[in-house]
């Protein structure tokens, strides 16, 4: 299996791509790195959490047409062949042959799902789907459900202008259907809090960011508690994951889950410290003077 992965600027600098949240863009790159040599990923949902993003980011990539999802849960990077040119002697065929057989390549080399092509095509339409065939030059008919081989060759080209219009129309329709999906605000809230307190974008890995978010999502702590822990790390000039995590673990053991509880424990600590300091001061005062002070207070 080839280890090097590449990305084309035609995709990553397009308006459709850069208009997405940073977390969605990050997930696209990680999926591109984790995909097999033909662009297929069998655990995209798990990877979306492992790299500090969410399933909402995955849904957005699917809605925007950067990722194609199958009913089996397998996904494929739509523009994989535009991004990567892997030598055949280094390429390992995908294990997801059933999903692969549901795809064809268009004139640009991008994957297209046969169901989508069947829905959009018309007999008298000059915008014909590109079917891919073996070197025997026998035509591949989508309706016959023929199997595709690894040696695919185009026999019909798609008009670029029409293809672009079709993609825009699909994006509009898919945006409408996905607009009601609730977005997870925690990743962006965390990034903003880190930036406000002087953390660099490289100080925490995606996995470490997800670990901190888990205190909110899994342990039920307010995000404000995490924000105070980040602020404390900044004030201590210790802008590290371990410092923030250590603070969160300490508060979790204390049963602190809200900012109000955090402030209450700090006030109790200050009161105990103040009482201890007062007792320490009284230890240096002669007993007869303390007695006189008590008598005066009694009067």
Q: What is the pLDDT of residues 129-164, one digit of tens each?
A: 444 433 333 333 434 443 333 444 444 444 444 545
Residue 240 has a pLDDT of: 93
CB contact set of 228 (below 8 Å; sequence gap of 6+): 259, 262
How many residues would you count in the chain? Answer: 299
Please name every residue paired with 67 in a beta bridge, in sequence order, or none if there are none. 77
State the span(s) of the chain assigned CATH 1.10.10.630: 186-291
Token pair of 135 as six digits: 């070197």
* Residue-level pLDDT at 291: 67
What integer pLDDT is reported at residue 106 of this predicted model?
Answer: 85
Q: Of 44, 48, 118, 106, nearest to 81 (Cα)?
A: 106
**pLDDT score for 221:** 92
**What's the fold here for domain 186-291?**
Arc Repressor Mutant, subunit A (1.10.10)
Over residues 214-245, the pLDDT tens digits come to 899 888 999 999 999 999 999 999 999 999 99
Residue numbers of the chain with a pLDDT score lower than 70? 1-3, 116-184, 274-299
């Amino acid at each position: 299996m080839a280890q090097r992965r590449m990305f084309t600027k035609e995709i990553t600098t397009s308006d459709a791509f850069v208009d997405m949240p940073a977390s969605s863009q990050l997930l696209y790159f990680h999926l591109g790195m984790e995909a097999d040599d033909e662009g297929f990923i069998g655990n995209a949902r798990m990877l979306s959490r492992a790299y500090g993003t969410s399933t909402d980011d995955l849904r957005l990539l699917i809605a925007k047409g950067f990722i194609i999802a199958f009913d089996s849960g397998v996904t494929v990077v739509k523009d994989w062949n535009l991004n990567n040119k892997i030598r055949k002697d280094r390429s390992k065929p995908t294990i997801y042959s059933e999903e692969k057989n549901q795809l064809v390549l268009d004139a640009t080399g991008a994957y297209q799902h046969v169901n989508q092509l069947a829905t959009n095509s018309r007999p008298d339409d000059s915008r014909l789907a590109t079917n891919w065939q073996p070197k025997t030059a026998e035509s591949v008919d989508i309706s016959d459900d023929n199997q595709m081989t690894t040696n695919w060759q185009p026999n019909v080209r798609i008009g670029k202008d029409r293809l672009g219009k079709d993609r825009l129309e699909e994006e509009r329709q898919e945006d409408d259907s996905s607009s009601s999906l609730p977005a997870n605000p925690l990743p962006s809230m965390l990034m903003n809090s880190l930036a406000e307190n002087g953390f660099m974008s490289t100080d925490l890995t995606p996995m470490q960011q997800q670990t901190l978010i888990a205190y909110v999502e899994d342990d039920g702590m307010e995000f404000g508690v995490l924000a105070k822990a980040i602020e404390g790390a900044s004030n201590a000039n210790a802008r590290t994951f371990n410092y923030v995590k250590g603070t969160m673990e300490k508060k979790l053991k204390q049963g602190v889950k809200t900012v109000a509880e955090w402030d209450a424990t700090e006030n109790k600590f200050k009161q105990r410290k103040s009482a201890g300091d007062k007792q320490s001061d009284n230890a240096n005062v002669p007993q007869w003077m303390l007695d006189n002070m008590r008598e005066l207070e009694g009067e």
